[in-house]
């Protein structure tokens, strides 16, 4: 029996899970890291390394996706992953407090905590995307992508605002209390949001049917040219997308002489543009429907090209300096980033259940989402590192800030252009030969 497609209420409920996920992640990768670097006066490289480690752990996403594919339901993986994530957040708060008295013990505990955070994000996030891919109709996918990601941004904004207000006057006890409250609320929201949303479980598999091994399913996924090409697209585009995260505000301060308050406001302008871009694609998709993979591919290419143009203008702004309409340029970058993000997620939903010939093939959405999620995690880790280190190297080579930022922005623009070119080929990859794409059937693929 084919499960009933998700209605708008079901999509919003899953968006609440994204909000909860974003709330915990922003607490652990932003607030707690700031405490390590400022209040505890630890090297800035420490929190940066911990964040990079949580991305590295997300290389396990294909395994989590495979697990949800082989099971009859995906919601247990979402709940279990969120539980591990919440416990990781609590452990991170305790590790941060422990660093004040014993830095070595605190760092060891933080490493365990960030391992849990990476695993929790991987398990819950991958299974959530797989559930959306399998239960949202093609015409609603653009709007679903917009709704869930906008709700994640809202969850991040609310958490940052509330936690920031409650943390003053700062103490480790207050930090632990706030972290506990956010983790508990996020987990309860997840429990309520997913309750009954998946409907009846799928029919049990025939016990005599051999269960394909993880390695065999992974090889099958990587052998599909469409899935492999989309993974390359995700990696290239996300490196470009994330490379400006850590350098945009320093750019505003060093080149345009903005105060911390002014650069923070500029960051708000960028995020406003992101939301407008997301809403535009979501609304357009909701009103006129997805109209096939070509429609979504067009929006993806537009987002990449527009982002490349905006980054090129930022490179020009670095050369011109004060007097350039920097806020308008940053808003444009955010807008096209938002268009790109929603269109790419919508394309991901569409391709998750598609076979090498474009036909719908169920039961592999989780591992595909896992492969692409792993590519995204690597890209985010490398992108932030590339942006920051690239500027530092550029400042040494060129002996001036403007040229260093100009060079990095230009490279990012080129990466977005490359991503746009790759996006035009998605869905048009040649079918593999039988030897390159072997269905996982038979006793030789039985799970050990």
Q: What is the pLDDT of residues 186-237, one digit of tens each?
A: 999 999 999 988 876 555 555 556 678 888 888 888 888 888 899 999 999 9
Here the tokens at position 357 are 């010939």
Give the per-residue pLDDT at 429.
Answer: 46
259 dihedral zone (left: phi>0; alpha: psi -120 to 50; beta): beta
**Rounded CA separation 306/324 (Å):** 19
Strands (E), 143-284: none
Give the per-residue pLDDT at 263.
Answer: 78
Residues 338, 277: contact at Cβ < 8 Å? yes
10 Å CB burial of residue 168 (0-12, 13-18, 19+) is: exposed
Burial letters 227-258, b for 16+ CB under 10 A, else e = bbbbbebbbbbbbbbbbbebbbbbbbebbbeb
Residue count of the chain, please give it.
Answer: 448
Tell me which H or E stretch contains 148. helix 141-166
Residues 307, 337: contact at Cβ < 8 Å? yes
31 dihedral zone (left: phi>0; alpha: psi -120 to 50; beta): alpha
**Rounded CA separation 143/91 (Å):** 36
Residues 136, 53: contact at Cβ < 8 Å? no
Give the per-residue pLDDT at 296.
Answer: 77
Alpha helices in 71-102 (DSSP H): 75-99
Phi, psi of 400 (to 5 degrees): -155, 145
Crossing angle of helices 61-70 and 365-398, in 10° steps, is 170
Fill in the DSSP letter of residue 212. Answer: B
- Asked whether the whole model's pTM tops 0.85, one would answer no
Mean pLDDT of the chain: 84
The stretches in the chain having pLDDT less than 50 are 1, 429-448
Crossing angle of helices 326-352 and 225-242, in 10° steps, is 160
Phi, psi of 364 (to 5 degrees): -125, 10
Give the per-residue pLDDT at 431.
Answer: 44
SS3 state at 38 = helix
Residue with tokens 């080149």: 255
Selection from 349, 351, 343, 361 nearest residue 419 by Cα: 343
């Amino acid at each position: 029996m084919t499960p009933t497609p998700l209605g708008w209420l079901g999509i919003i409920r899953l968006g609440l899970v994204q909000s909860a996920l974003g709330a915990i992640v922003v607490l652990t990768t932003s607030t707690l890291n700031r405490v390590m670097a400022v209040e505890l006066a630890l090297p800035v490289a420490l929190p940066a390394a911990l964040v990079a480690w949580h991305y590295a752990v997300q290389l396990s996403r294909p395994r989590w996706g495979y697990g949800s594919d082989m099971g009859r339901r995906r919601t247990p993986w979402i709940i279990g992953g969120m539980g591990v994530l919440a416990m990781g957040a609590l452990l991170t708060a305790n590790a941060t407090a422990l660093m004040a008295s014993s830095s070595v013990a605190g760092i060891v505990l933080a490493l365990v905590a960030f391992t849990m955070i990476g695993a929790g994000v991987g398990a819950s996030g991958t299974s959530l995307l797989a559930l959306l891919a399998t239960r949202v109709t093609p015409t609603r996918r653009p709007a679903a992508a917009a709704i869930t990601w906008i709700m994640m941004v809202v969850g991040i904004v609310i958490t940052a605002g509330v936690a920031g207000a409650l943390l003053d006057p700062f103490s480790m006890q207050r930090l632990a209390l706030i972290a506990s409250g956010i983790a508990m609320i996020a987990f309860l929201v997840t429990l309520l949001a997913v309750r009954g949303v998946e409907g009846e479980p799928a029919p049990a598999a025939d016990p005599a049917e051999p269960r394909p091994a993880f390695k065999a399913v992974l090889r099958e996924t990587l052998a599909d040219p469409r899935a492999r090409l989309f993974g390359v697209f995700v990696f290239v585009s996300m490196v470009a997308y994330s490379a400006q995260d850590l350098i945009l505000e320093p750019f505003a301060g060093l080149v345009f002489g903005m105060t911390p308050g002014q650069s923070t406001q500029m960051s708000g302008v960028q995020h406003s543009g992101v939301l407008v871009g997301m809403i535009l694609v979501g609304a357009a998709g909701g009103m006129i429907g997805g109209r096939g993979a070509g429609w979504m591919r067009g929006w993806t290419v537009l987002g990449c090209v527009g982002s490349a143009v905006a980054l090129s203008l930022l490179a020009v702004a670095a050369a011109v300096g004060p007097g350039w309409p920097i806020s308008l340029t940053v808003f444009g970058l955010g807008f096209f980033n938002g268009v790109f993000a929603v269109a790419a997620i919508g394309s991901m939903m569409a391709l998750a259940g598609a076979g090498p010939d474009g036909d719908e093939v169920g039961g592999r959405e989780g591992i595909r989402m896992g492969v692409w999620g792993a590519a995204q995690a690597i890209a985010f880790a490398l992108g932030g590192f590339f942006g920051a280190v690239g500027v530092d190297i550029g400042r040494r080579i060129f002996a001036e800030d403007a040229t260093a930022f100009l060079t990095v922005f230009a490279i990012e623009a080129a990466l977005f252009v490359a991503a746009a070119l790759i996006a035009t080929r998605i869905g048009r990859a040649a079918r593999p030969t039988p030897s390159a794409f072997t269905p996982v059937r038979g006793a030789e693929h039985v799970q050990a």
